[in-house]
Amino acid sequence: MTAHPPYVIDEMISAKSIAARVEALARDISDHFADTDKLVVVGLLRGSFVFIADLVRELDLPVEVDFIEASSYGDSTVSSREVRILKDLRSGIEGRDVLVVEDIVDTGFTLHHVIGLLSARDPARLEVCALLDKPARREVDIRATWTGFEIPDEFVVGYGIDYGQRNRNLPHIGKVRFE
Ligand code: IMP
């Protein structure tokens, strides 16, 4: 376990703003997939677990929930370019409608890798909903279909998102400030 220097968390997006945005995203997604027989909602572990829980409860569609886990920052605040799949989907997605739910698109390496992997399985439709986007940090040209909030280049925590496995349980999104 890595020791972290002391830091404080400044609120960036309130729980109320997140809830309003999640509701709006769910409306757009429900409209887009209105004719689906069942949408496979794929959460990218672990950072998306709070977001996906709130999002699926606002979707006006038949859904199935599955998870995939890719390697991430570990205990650091620096992204690694090499993406490995630590846990794959339980269900097959060939010919099915799929929505990937991601917490943050940062450099874009994770999403690029996961989209490549899932597209190769020939889903009928494959779209992405990301809660946060840090466009200033992008290294791979990729975008989510729907984005909750664009944020500046800050390290954030809360609403499922961690710093060294801490702060996932904050109800809002805050930025980490080292003292
Ligand atoms: P990417 O591959 O660089 O786009 O990284 C995406 C993943 O890195 C996200 O799914 C997060 O798990 C993690 N990440 C990116 N930015 C932050 C942050 O500000 N706080 C915590 N985790 C982050």
The pLDDT tens digits for 41-54 are 999 999 999 999 99
Contact 66, 73 (CB under 8 A): no
Nearest to 159 by CA among 24, 17, 57: 17
Residue 169 has pLDDT above 90, yes or no: yes
In the set 97, 106, 133, 162, the catalytic residue is 106
Q: Which residue has the higher pLDDT, 3 or 71?
A: 71
Determine the pLDDT at residue 76: 58
* Residues 21, 16: Cα–Cα separation, whole Å: 9
Indicate if ligand 1 lies below 6 Å from the C-beta of 161: yes
Residue 134 has pLDDT above 90, yes or no: yes
CB within 8 Å of 171: residues ≥ 6 apart: 15, 158, 159
Instruction: Quickly name the fold that domain 14-153 has.
Output: Rossmann fold (3.40.50)
Active site residue 106: yes
Contact 161, 103 (CB under 8 A): yes
Determine the pLDDT at residue 104: 97
* Residues 60, 45: Cα–Cα separation, whole Å: 23
Separation of CA 25 and ligand 1 centre (Å): 20
Determine the pLDDT at residue 81: 74
Whether the upstream peptide bond of residue 168 has omega within 30° of 0, thus cis, is no
Q: Which residue has the higher pLDDT, 78 or 126?
A: 126
The mean pLDDT value for 40-68 works out to 98
Determine the pLDDT at residue 2: 61
Determine the pLDDT at residue 71: 87
And the tokens for 77? 């605040």
For β-strands 146-150 and 125-133, DSSP reports them as parallel
Separation of CA 104 and ligand 1 centre (Å): 5
Q: State the DSSP code for 115.
A: H
Nearest to 154 by CA among 146, 163, 167, 145: 163
Indicate if ligand 1 lies below 6 Å from the C-beta of 167: no
Whether the upstream peptide bond of residue 96 has omega within 30° of 0, thus cis, is no
Residue 157 has pLDDT above 90, yes or no: yes
The pLDDT tens digits for 73-121 are 555 566 667 889 999 999 999 999 999 999 999 999 999 999 999 999 9
And the tokens for 30? 């429900």
Helix-, strand-, coil-residue percentages of the chain, each rounded to 5:
25, 35, 45
The dihedral through the CA atoms of 161, 97, 123, 28 has a sign that is negative
The pLDDT tens digits for 4-31 are 889 999 999 999 999 999 999 999 999 9
pTM of the model: 0.95
